[in-house]
Amino acid sequence: MTSKNSKQRNILLIPVQDNLSHLGVKYLHYTLLQKGYMSKQLFIPYFNARKETLSNSLKAFISEINPLYIGLSLTSLEYHRSSDLGQFLKKVFPNIPIICGGIHPTVDPESCFSFADYVMVGECEYSLIDFTEALINGTDVKEVPNLCYMENGIMKQNPLAPAIQDLDILPVFDHIPKLSFIQRKDGTVCAIDRKIYHKEGRFLGRMYEMLSSRGCGFSCSYCTNSYLNKLYPSNKRVRRRSIQNIIEELEKVKHNDPEIKQIVFHDSSFLIGKRDYFKEFCKEYKEKIGIPFIVSTTPTSIDWEKLMLLKDAGVSWVTMALQTGSDLINKDIYKRYSFKKDFFKAAELIKKARLPVKSDVILDNPFEKEADTIETIETIMETPKPCLFEIFSLALLPGTELYERAKIECPDMMEDCRGKNFMKFKQSYLNMLTVLAVYLPKSIMKKLLNLYKANFNGSGIFKVALYLSKGLSNLYFKPKNLFYWLKLTRGDSYIDTFRIMPLYVKDYFTYRNL
């Protein structure tokens, strides 16, 4: 049994990303606090091991709190940053154990032992409590579920604890997270209060990001959800929180920061599920929260009734990914059973509801032929404007079905996804055309595409036309599209559009995504 006093040792959790939007660590931090442990969360958006001012103040902060252990959380994107941080911490604080977790350690635990003493896979709210208790009590951590450790140079992996089925048992959050700190650009580390959160958080700290469920109804071959579905085969695909539990969190959040302008539900497939649940959710949300909100889903789960319920409750937009305009790639390569016709049907309904289309596309797929990418471009051209597509470069993530397939079928096209910038796609003519299709009128795009088809290797005329169109798009069509897109998210009101704009401008230029 852990005594009350021994619980007073600090624990330090660091999400190794360049912003303050981390839900997984928030869950760990709040669960530790709920159980009476002294967890502290530290954000390090500007961390750079080579900058002395940054590392010295980090050293001073960690020495002062002298944590029992340091927990790092990372996606594959943050692998190199985490490795730099972990090695720096090991050098300065050789006696403080480092444990890491998150989606990258879950899919590729072994790769994290170069900078961590322990790795945890899967959902870890309760296994991290077990780990903490074992450290405090001096018992063997090697019994802790989900834990991986090294023994004689070989990685040992303990059995997984079952994933949490009743999400309502988890603590509800605050908008300005409790006992949380940030290392600012000048190196100083300070506690996060509302003023600092509004300066440093994404969207001027005026958006509240949350999850109303875990999991996804789909199992696309490139996505780590396909890996998680295999890791937890007996899980329900989508585990939902009760409506009361979601509303309780949002009421607390609204009270905590009355300046919140937008709620973002990061659920992978918000609209999959029973219709009655949505009816009830939209009614309660409208009555008790009433702040504009954003959801994501797959095109196949959008219908008129659900859209109307969402619109009435104040939805700003519904993100629904296209990924590729090629049905063949969706079906055979991505195992994503949402096709072009589903996308267009949903896009038309969204247009009819006077909401803007927001979608995602994946480029740089080694399995895609030129004709497939052209289909994507043509699908974007046909999408009702104003629309917004976020364009990502495919990362072959370890553990996913597509990764395993690519290893066999196109080994020379494999690249290390650790540290890969998902937002940076290859600079090919077709990729450039894909981006232009989002903003340029169909008539101009048709001419460009015809020129491309006629002059495969990019003739002089094609290049001139392409770069002129790019200039025109950047100077006129893109800003116009973005403005009218934003206006539709605000019920077509100019006043509300100008009011919300400052939230997006800084973020758009910093992170290049919404």
- 512 Cβ partners below 8 Å, 6+ apart? 423
216 binds ligand SF4 (CB under 6 A): yes
Whichever of 229 and 245 has its CB closer to ligand SF4, that residue is: 229
* # binding residues, ligand SF4 (CB under 6 A): 10
- 474 Cβ partners below 8 Å, 6+ apart? none
- Here the tokens at position 326 are 């090629």
Whichever of 175 and 336 has its CB closer to ligand SF4, that residue is: 336
178: amino acid identity, one letter: K
- Positions touching ligand B12 (CB under 6 A) are 17, 19, 21-25, 27-28, 71-73, 75-78, 99-104, 106-107, 120, 123-125, 128, 211, 214, 223-225, 228, 266, 268, 392, 397, 422
| Interacting partner of 117 out of ligand B12, ligand SF4, none (Cβ under 5 to 8 A depending on kind) | none
Whichever of 224 and 262 has its CB closer to ligand B12, that residue is: 224
Minimum CB separation of residue 408 from ligand B12 in Å reads: 20
Minimum CB separation of residue 458 from ligand B12 in Å reads: 28
| Strand ranges (E), 175-301 | 180-183, 189-191, 207-210, 213-214, 239-240, 262-265, 293-297
| Interacting partner of 184 out of ligand B12, ligand SF4, none (Cβ under 5 to 8 A depending on kind) | none
φ, ψ for residue 316 (rounded to 5)? -90, -45
223 binds ligand SF4 (CB under 6 A): yes
- Here the tokens at position 55 are 């590392």
| Interacting partner of 219 out of ligand SF4, ligand B12, none (Cβ under 5 to 8 A depending on kind) | ligand SF4
Minimum CB separation of residue 405 from ligand B12 in Å reads: 16
Whichever of 47 and 425 has its CB closer to ligand SF4, that residue is: 425
Residue 365: name the closest of 403, 337, 336 by CA.
403
Minimum CB separation of residue 30 from ligand B12 in Å reads: 10
218 binds ligand SF4 (CB under 6 A): yes
Other Cβ atoms within 10 Å of 187 Cβ, number = 18
- Here the tokens at position 136 are 């405090």
Other Cβ atoms within 10 Å of 83 Cβ, number = 21
Residue 223: name the closest of 330, 87, 99 by CA.
330
Minimum CB separation of residue 49 from ligand SF4 in Å reads: 32
Helix (H, G, I), strand (E, B) or coil at 288: helix
Other Cβ atoms within 10 Å of 252 Cβ, number = 13
| Interacting partner of 128 out of ligand B12, ligand SF4, none (Cβ under 5 to 8 A depending on kind) | ligand B12
Other Cβ atoms within 10 Å of 98 Cβ, number = 23
Whichever of 248 and 360 has its CB closer to ligand SF4, that residue is: 360
| Interacting partner of 422 out of ligand SF4, ligand B12, none (Cβ under 5 to 8 A depending on kind) | ligand B12
298 binds ligand SF4 (CB under 6 A): yes
- Here the tokens at position 40 are 């502290």
Minimum CB separation of residue 351 from ligand B12 in Å reads: 25
355 binds ligand SF4 (CB under 6 A): no
| Interacting partner of 35 out of ligand SF4, ligand B12, none (Cβ under 5 to 8 A depending on kind) | none
Task: Identify which range of 48-56, 112-120, 151-159, 217-225 contacts ligand SF4 by CB under 6 A.
Answer: 217-225
- Here the tokens at position 167 are 């999400």
Element (H, E) at 450: helix 442-454
Element (H, E) at 266: none
Whichever of 11 and 189 has its CB closer to ligand B12, that residue is: 11
Other Cβ atoms within 10 Å of 43 Cβ, number = 26
Minimum CB separation of residue 246 from ligand B12 in Å reads: 15
| Strand ranges (E), 343-498 | 357-363, 387-393
| Interacting partner of 263 out of ligand SF4, ligand B12, none (Cβ under 5 to 8 A depending on kind) | none
346 binds ligand SF4 (CB under 6 A): no
Question: How far apart are the C-alpha atoms of 22 and 41, rounded to whole Å?
Answer: 11
Task: Identify which range of 181-189, 215-223, 241-249, 479-487 contacts ligand SF4 by CB under 6 A.
Answer: 215-223
For the chain, give me the number of helices (H) and strands (E)?
A: 19, 17
Which residues of this chain interact with ligand SF4, rule CB under 6 A?
216, 218-220, 223, 225, 268-269, 298, 336
